[in-house]
């Protein structure tokens, strides 16, 4: 008999704050680009909004990339939370040769058709979902914040909601993930293709 999974907690994903590459519409991917001043302010505002909700978050994790880690630290400072851990599995999709470029719209939709070394859609889905499941299982019943990246968050939203999530995720935007959907998605399920990275 399968062990029952504790879904009494919650999982809120936050995209990192703005960077200069975001501002200039450059593909970041797994390049370690720091927050700019606007991104730091966005993180403060998000932390304050979450504090005002009074939800009492317990755990704060992030991607190890500096833009996500700094966003997490700023949000945490507004909530009285220390960064608990970083997870490699929360890193943004690797865009290979496209990183650092302002690429055309059609290439943004399917970068692996235009550039070498781009991580596959399936890999991002599997990595994102598996990492977030690992985090939820490590902190059962806890209210978790995970700071990550736009492409990964949209793919996790698509998987956990069972439909394509094509809407871009704004910088420093918090989104709650349905835990039932996160644990219902199976690796053999066909990835839902998303519009923009």
Residue 149 assigned to a binding site: no
In degrees, to the nearest 5, what angle opens at C-alpha 50 toward C-alphas 17 and 24?
A: 15
Please count the residues of the chain. 197
Torsion angle defined by CA atoms of residues 120, 124, 127 and 128, in that order, rounded to the nearest 10 degrees: 180
- The set of catalytic residues is 16, 92
pLDDT of residue 43: 99
Give the single-character DSSP code of 109: H
Residue with tokens 């910088």: 171
Give the number of other CB atoms < 10 A from CB of residue 176. 11
Q: What is the spatial distance between Cα 129 and Cα 183, in angstroms, rounded to a whole number? A: 8
Cβ distance 15 to 150 under 8 Å? yes
Maximum Cα–Cα distance for the chain, whole Å? 52
Give the number of other CB atoms < 10 A from CB of residue 23. 12
Residue 24 assigned to a binding site: no
Residue 93 assigned to a binding site: yes
Residue 165 assigned to a binding site: no
Q: What is the spatial distance between Cα 40 and Cα 14, in angstroms, rounded to a whole number? A: 13
pLDDT of residue 16: 99
Residue 16 assigned to a binding site: yes
Give the number of other CB atoms < 10 A from CB of residue 126. 18
pLDDT tens digits, 110-153 = 888 888 999 998 899 999 999 999 999 999 999 999 999 999 99
Residue 186 assigned to a binding site: no
pLDDT of residue 1: 41
- What three-state secondary structure class fits 123? helix
Selection from 168, 28, 181, 161 nearest residue 91 by Cα: 28
pLDDT of residue 49: 98
- What three-state secondary structure class fits 25? coil
In degrees, to the nearest 5, what angle opens at C-alpha 142 toward C-alphas 123 and 191?
A: 20
Q: What value does the CA radius of gyration of the chain take, rounded to a whole number of Å?
A: 16
Q: Which segments of the chain have a pLDDT < 50?
A: 1, 195-197
pLDDT of residue 196: 43
Domains of the chain: 10-142+149-184 (3.40.50.1240)
């Amino acid at each position: 008999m399968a062990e029952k999974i504790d879904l009494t907690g919650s999982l809120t994903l936050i995209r990192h704050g703005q960077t200069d590459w975001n501002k200039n519409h450059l593909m970041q991917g797994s390049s370690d680009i720091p927050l700019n001043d606007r991104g730091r302010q966005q993180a403060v505002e998000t932390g304050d909004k979450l504090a005002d909700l009074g939800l009492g978050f317990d755990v704060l994790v992030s991607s190890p990339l500096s833009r996500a880690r700094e966003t997490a630290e700023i949000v945490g400072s507004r909530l009285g939370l220390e960064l608990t851990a970083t997870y490699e599995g929360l890193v943004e999709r690797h865009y290979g040769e496209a990183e650092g470029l302002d690429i055309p719209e059609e290439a943004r939709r399917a970068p692996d058709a235009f550039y070498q070394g781009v991580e596959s859609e399936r890999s991002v889905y599997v990595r994102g979902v598996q990492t977030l499941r690992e985090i939820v299982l490590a902190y059962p019943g806890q209210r978790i914040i995970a700071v990550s990246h736009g492409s990964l968050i949209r793919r996790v939203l698509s998987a956990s909601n069972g439909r394509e999530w094509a809407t871009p995720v704004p910088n420093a935007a918090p989104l709650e993930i349905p835990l039932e959907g996160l644990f219902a998605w199976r690796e053999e399920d066909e990835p839902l293709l998303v519009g923009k990275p």
